Structure 1
Amino acid sequence: MADKSITKTELVASIASSTGQSQSAVSSVLDALFSNVAEAVASGSKVSIPGWISFERVDTAARTGRNPQTGAEIKIPAGKRVKVSAGSKLKAAVK
């Protein structure tokens, strides 16, 4: 099964041709979107585009893990992660 990914350049070109906007304008909007999402999630806010996707910061508890090479127990500190959830429209598009 071949891995098919779309690069940012391909995405920008596709959106630009669909909307009639310039690629530089579309690229600026995408950069601003990702920057704003990152800032909001980093500050603890949840970002949601209803039906499509949501991003939120979650706290993880400290836990004990194992080094897979040696089998020795290691302490994994508490931390923060990003949770990304697909919305109903995105899920339906995949079916």
Structure 2
Amino acid sequence: MSKQILYCGTSGTVIDWQDLDQFAYAAPAPGMKVLPVTAEQWKHKDALHYVLDGELARVDVPPPSAAHHWDGSQWALDSRKPRQPQRSNRVGEWIQRLMRPGR
């Protein structure tokens, strides 16, 4: 029984569960990787999984942002990862000022 997952090498997102006994798969595209899975892991393929530090991990929810890491039980903010910059809402504020009564 030969099975594997296809996942994104950057984010760890599992893209596909692949049964090599039933189908032939092309080589992974650049940036994608494969990881062999056990029969026990295959049984739970319908649950949400990510590849974290080279290992398949079952998680309850996806990461809130790229600045989070899985600490074994929950997503935690990782100070080593860059945070997304806060977006300015200046255009929205400008529109609201234009829409005020009496302008």
Instruction: Using structure 2 for the length normalisation, give the TM-score.
Output: 0.24
TM-score (norm 1): 0.26
More helix by share: 1
Q: Which structure's CA Rg is the greater one?
A: 2
